[in-house]
Amino acid sequence: MIRAFRRDAIEDDKVWRILRNAWRAPSAGHLEPQDFVVVRDQGVKKRLAEAALGQTFVGEAPLVIVVCSDTRRNVGRYGERGRDFYSIIDGSFASFIILLSAVELGLGACFVGAFDDEKVSKVLGLPKEVRPIGIIPLGKPAERPRRLNRQPLERRVHYNSYGSSFSRSVKR
């Protein structure tokens, strides 16, 4: 995750490559609830940073993509679960693909999930049924990503039921 960006603009062809990849993300029932709001306007980015609980780096990125899910697309087939769960998962898949695509193109990005939904919706003029899923600032990195320690995989893998240890038959 990158939170410091150079001021260089991101070329439109790179933005479209990222969006094309995200647009192809899987979705429940292939209902494609994902929508993308691309923000270059400095005033809008600043208001998004405020809505993101004061995370100023959001406003400092050359470009921000806000991934949204139009819950109307899921509710018809899946009801409440479609609105409250599948639409969020589908938007999360698209967000993850944006992050991977950015790295592939030599860009830095960060998924921001800590924000006030109502404020983001107001800033972007989202309809009531369109929910913001993630704010993704993008740009050429002005820092190296920090390496974080991870829990051993053996502690996170369970066999047949939660809490049962997983024994590896294949050597690393």
CA dist., res. 133 & res. 131, Å (int) = 6
For 156-171, what is each residue's pLDDT tens digit? 888 888 988 776 654 5
For 113-147, what is each residue's pLDDT tens digit? 999 999 999 999 999 999 999 999 999 999 988 88
Domains of the chain in start order, with CATH, are 12-143 (3.40.109.10)
Mean pLDDT of 15-32: 97
| Count of CB atoms situated within 10 Å of the CB of 119 | 16
Residue 5 has pLDDT above 80, yes or no: yes
Helical H segments across the chain, by residue range = 12-23, 42-51, 57-60, 72-81, 87-104, 117-124, 153-156
Q: What is the pLDDT of residue 153?
A: 87
Q: Which residues of 120-143 are buried (b: 16+ CB within 10 A; e: fewer)?
A: bbebbebeeebbbbbbbbbbbbee
For 33-55, what is each residue's pLDDT tens digit? 999 999 999 999 999 999 999 99
For 82-112, what is each residue's pLDDT tens digit? 999 999 999 999 999 999 999 999 999 999 9
Global pTM?
A: 0.91
